C-alpha cells in the first residue's frame, strides 16, 4: 500500500513540475522519508536522480520554445557540479552520526539533514509566494567577473548536494540578476544546471550507497509521466495562482518537518 502511495506521490510531483515549472521536486525527499521510510541520506540521493532525469525532460521542452541559453547555463554548471559531487561523495558520508548533544538532546546526522532541508523548503516557499516579478528590474544586463559566478555556483551546488533538491529557486534569481537573462529564459536555463548537478552528484552516491534501481527507475519514470501531463494541463490553469498556493503548502510542510524532527 505504501509503495502505491509513493508512486502516486511521484505522479503528483511530476504534475506540479509540469504545471508550475519548478518547486515540485522539493517534495521528493519528504515523500521518500516520511511515506516510504527511507533514510534521509538515501532519500536525498534518490531525489537527485529523480530531479536530474526530470530536468532533462524539462530542458527538451523549454528548448523547443527557445527558452534555454546553453552558454550561460554551462558557465554555472562547472562550479556547481563540482560542489554537488564533492558534497555527496565526501561530505555527506562523513558527517558523524551524532553531530552534537546538549543534555538529553542529541542532534543526529539524519535530523540535521532534515532540519536543514526544512529551512531550505521554507526559503523556497517564500520565493514561490512572493513571486519574482521584480527580479528583472534589478537586472542591469551586465556580465560579472567569472570568479563571482564560480563562487555562486559552488555555494548553490553545496546546498543542492546536501538537500537533494534541484535548487531552481536559487538558480533562477542568479541567472536573472547575474546572468542577464529574462525570467522565462532563466527558468529554462536553470534546468540545464539542475540536470547536470543532480545526475553528477548522484554518481557520488553510487560509490557509497546501495541503490534500488528497480524502485528508482520506476519512481522517476512516473514523475516524468506526471511532468508531461502537467505540461499539457498547464494551458488551462493559472500558473501564478497555482504557484502561490503551492508555496503556502511547501511552507506548511517545512514547518511540519521542523517540528517533527525537533520533537523526535
Domain membership of residue 241 as a residue range: 2-263
Beta-carbon contacts of residue 44 (< 8 Å; ≥ 6 apart): 29, 92, 113, 117, 162, 163, 164
Residue 156, number of CB atoms within 10 A of its CB: 24
pLDDT band at 213 (very low <50, low <70, confident <90, very high): very high
For the chain, the domain total comes to 1
What is the residue whose three cell numbers read 537533494?
Answer: 164
The Cα 2–Cα 134 span in angstroms is 42
Q: In angstroms, what CA-CA distances link 233 with 16, 59, 62, 161, 191?
A: 10, 18, 16, 31, 20
pLDDT of residue 225: 92
Q: State percent of the chain over pLDDT 70.
A: 89
CA gyration radius for the chain? 18
pLDDT in tens, 152-164: 888 888 888 887 7
Strand locations in 63-133 (E): 98-102, 105-108
pLDDT in tens, 23-62: 666 788 888 988 888 998 898 889 889 988 988 888 888 8
pLDDT in tens, 97-122: 888 888 778 888 888 888 888 888 88
Taking residues 58-79, what's their average pLDDT? 85
* Range with top average pLDDT, 115-119, 173-177, 184-188: 115-119
Checking if the pLDDT of 137 tops 60, the result is no
pLDDT of residue 24: 64
The Cα 145–Cα 16 span in angstroms is 36
Amino acid at each position: 500500500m505504501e509503495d502505491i502511495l509513493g508512486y502516486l506521490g511521484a505522479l503528483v510531483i511530476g504534475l506540479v513540475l509540469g504545471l508550475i515549472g519548478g518547486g515540485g521536486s522539493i517534495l521528493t525527499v519528504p515523500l521518500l522519508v516520511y511515506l516510504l521510510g527511507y533514510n534521509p541520506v538515501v532519500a536525498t540521493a534518490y531525489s537527485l536522480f529523480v530531479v536530474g532525469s526530470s530536468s532533462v525532460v524539462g530542458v527538451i521542452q523549454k528548448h523547443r520554445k527557445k527558452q534555454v541559453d546553453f552558454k550561460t547555463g554551462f558557465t554555472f554548471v562547472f562550479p556547481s557540479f563540482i560542489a554537488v559531487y564533492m558534497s555527496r561523495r565526501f561530505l555527506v558520508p562523513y558527517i558523524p552520526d551524532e553531530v552534537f548533544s546538549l543534555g538529553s538532546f542529541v542532534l543526529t546526522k539524519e535530523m540535521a539533514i532534515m532540519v536543514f532541508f526544512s529551512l531550505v523548503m521554507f526559503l523556497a516557499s517564500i520565493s514561490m509566494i512572493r513571486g519574482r516579478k521584480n527580479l528583472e528590474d534589478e537586472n542591469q544586463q551586465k556580465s560579472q567577473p567569472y570568479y563571482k559566478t564560480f563562487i555562486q555556483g559552488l555555494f548553490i551546488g553545496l546546498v543542492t548536494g546536501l538537500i537533494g533538491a534541484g535548487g531552481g529557486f536559487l538558480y533562477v534569481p542568479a541567472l536573472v540578476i547575474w546572468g542577464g537573462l529574462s525570467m522565462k529564459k532563466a527558468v529554462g536555463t536553470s534546468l540545464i544546471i539542475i540536470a547536470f548537478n543532480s545526475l553528477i552528484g548522484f554518481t557520488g552516491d553510487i560509490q557509497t550507497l546501495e541503490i534500488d534501481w528497480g524502485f528508482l527507475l520506476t519512481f522517476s519514470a512516473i514523475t516524468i509521466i506526471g511532468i508531461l501531463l502537467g505540461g499539457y494541463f498547464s494551458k488551462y490553469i493559472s500558473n501564478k495562482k497555482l504557484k502561490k498556493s503551492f508555496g503556502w503548502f511547501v511552507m506548511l510542510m517545512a514547518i511540519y518537518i521542523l517540528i517533527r524532527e525537533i520533537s523526535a
